[in-house]
Chain A
């Protein structure tokens, strides 16, 4: 318990330093907003209380003061003394690997795949990778899952960075292929494991249901409407299925 508190104070030491830097940076940026004597949007900001900077100035000053308070508490409780050692801040290699791999998966999913790749394909890959990678807590599976999503995400990012290229389908095919490979890996490891046996079904059904509910039920925009799978679903919904009940 005591050990936990000491670790927390060591982390607080670094946290307070980051907060200090952030508050100083934003305080400096706040002075870009006219504080005295300007005339903006037809309103004279000759008086300090007219300025748009007054509230942010107060907020970042308060943040600066509270960061200093936190820093003092951390130093007083021995946080600074422990802050430079890995043991001191409670560094856990397994936990760091777990966080890094999840971070990589989420980053490439959101930044690389969702804007550029068919939503069903990339979400299927995400569900397969996350469940397979973290179900048993095995490091090699975490790395494999992160690599699978990262390869597809990186390809989509590098090959189709600008928005004008998001309609291309080569990244869809690569993601689909990766999803198939990951599914095969899951099936091969699924003997006696009920969770893994369910993964391929969940990874297919969940994104299809969600995207169809959103697009046809709520009639909302969904990511990448021109994706290789969703385009077909949308076409058959409007051309094949809808006329049946419309007529």
Chain B
């Protein structure tokens, strides 16, 4: 009880400090608006919104405002993806793919207003559920994480990359792992963290400091999007919005169990390292379809189906911040971009993070979700107009934004060359159906993995059993091995055989 009261009073203090500052609202309104706009425009993603704003706000304003800008954009973009899903049948972001299944049939049936209103409410409640989980669990985990040493950190980083590679691959899992390894390999460039030994610098002094995170993020997420999106495409016909957007309290109450269940699922999926909002949406949609009495209506315009995915993808944000803040391992691709912002502000997320920052993050999440809720309900028609802008108009501006953002973070032309090089490679990887998120997570976690893996070996005098000698390390090692083994055909077949026998 005392723990909860301490938490709440700490949160209250952080919330009041932010709420009493007028500048907070300016940053909130601008960032949430930009976030919803990015989410609503098909071709722009939540990760891109956070990445581009990192270039602008990352290290140029005080940390609180920087976090408001980035978290506001994150919350707004995940929610904004629902607009084109419902009105155009095109998901604005991958996180809203499941939303289109029921959102569009509802809009076609003349219930677009109701769908948008409920989506806004569900996203708001979902974000709050995720944020509450962040407030409670982050502290419990922070206490536990004090006992996490180098072997556990190395295994966790590896687990994050492997899990993200496994779950993000739309083709072969091996491609996700290769992408993660390419990211890890990129993180090896520069002076090594323990002995300052130059690696793969090819005599170029710029390479001594390694690949900078922001140009890599911009290159990996923005450039392929620009190349892919610059094509002739008719803007889809926006379904006419009928009915009032303000939700009916009775309907919200009726669907509250669905919203709560989806919020918990979204938070749980988000807390898995490297797994994003799109997976959360689909998992929650799948669970909803199985447990709901109206499961057979899913995909034909079911409000429950719509709320299952929309609540989960927003709840995932709070969940994704838990491993980021506790362990320094991003829970989703936009959280990876957020980690880039932390890094350029010289903040190392993990067990040594200043607890006050976590309280501020929670307070910002609450404020951002409130802003999103109000904007969603009262300015929805503005965002619907934005849907009519073709990609060929805004993508060139995104290129200019990316260039100036990337340049100003590092202050060098070399960062732009790096951004372009990574961008072309990422485009080809996309074309070959390699997921990009594991690559970025590999780049971000590569330094941590290298340092903690070698430190473990140094401490143990080269004894590899150091990775299995402690309880948490043993569990993590087992998880890593299980994840790898689960993809080996012989093992897969054996398990399939065993399962059939049991059934």
Contacts and interface: CB of A to CB of B under 8 A. Distances in A.
Given A12-B432, A45-B195, A63-B185, A130 B60 contact: no
B182 interface: yes
A75 interface: no
A122 to B, nearest CB: 9
A191 to B, nearest CB: 18
B389 to A, nearest CB: 9
B182 A63 contact: yes
A70 to B, nearest CB: 6
B453 interface: yes
Contacts of A34: 197
Contacts, number: 167
Contacts of A206: 397, 400
Nearest to B181: A63
A202 B397 contact: yes
A111 interface: yes
B501 interface: no
A223 B408 CA distance: 8
B79 interface: no
A221 B403 CA distance: 12
Given A103-B424, A110-B416, A206-B400, A60 B462 contact: no
Interface string B431-447: 11100000000000000
Interface string B396-412: 11011101100110010
Contacts of B401: 210
Nearest to B202: A29
Interface in A105-145: 106-107, 109-111, 114-115, 119, 123, 126-127, 130-131, 134-137
Interface residues of A, number: 68
Contact of A137 (B181, B231, B407, B408): B231
A39 B56 CA distance: 43
B393 to A, nearest CB: 6
Best-buried of B175, B196, B399 by chain A (most CB within 10 Å): B399
B393 A59 contact: no
Contacts of B417: 110-111
A26 interface: yes
A37 interface: no
A127 B200 contact: no
A131 B395 CA distance: 9
Interface in A172-230: 195, 198-199, 202, 206-207, 210-211, 213-214, 218-223
A135 B390 contact: yes
Interface string B277-295: 0000000000000000000
A47 B454 CA distance: 12
Contacts of B1: none
Nearest to A14: B432
Interface string B173-185: 0110110011011
A124 to B, nearest CB: 9
Interface in B376-428: 390, 392-393, 395-397, 399-401, 403-404, 407-408, 411, 413, 416-417, 419-420, 423-424, 427-428
Contacts of B177: 66
B178 A66 contact: yes
Given A54-B457, A59-B188, A102 B199 contact: no
Contacts of B395: 130
A102 B174 contact: no
Contacts of A222: 404, 407-408
Interface in B260-289: none
B337 interface: no
B416 A33 contact: no
Nearest to A45: B195
A195 B182 contact: no
B416 A114 contact: yes
A107 B407 contact: no
B404 A198 contact: no
A50 B456 CA distance: 11
B458 interface: yes
A134 B171 contact: no
B232 A107 contact: no
Contacts of B458: 49-50
Contacts of B172: 70, 73
B230 interface: yes
Contacts of A49: 454, 457-458, 461-462
Contact of A110 (B61, B171, B232, B420): B420
Contacts of A221: 407-408, 411
A107 B403 contact: no
A184 B223 CA distance: 28
A159 interface: no
A99 B227 contact: yes
B185 A106 contact: no
B482 interface: no
B392 A135 contact: yes
Best-buried of A52, A202, A223 by chain B (most CB within 10 Å): A52
B181 A62 contact: yes
A45 B192 CA distance: 14
Best-buried of B182, B197, B401 by chain A (most CB within 10 Å): B197
A114 B428 CA distance: 24
A8 B433 contact: yes
B457 A70 contact: no
Contact of B449 (A33, A53, A55): A55
B185 A56 contact: yes
Given A11-B431, A102-B227, 17 more contacts: A8-B171, A15-B432, A40-B195, A45-B195, A49-B454, A52-B195, A55-B454, A70-B178, A110-B420, A111-B417, A131-B393, A136-B232, A210-B400, A214-B408, A218-B408, A223-B407, A223-B413
6 contacts: A49-B462, A50-B454, A53-B199, A63-B185, A103-B227, A135-B232
Please name the 5 residue pairs, one residue from A and one from B, whose CB atoms are nearest each other, closest first. A137-B232, A52-B197, A49-B457, A52-B192, A49-B462
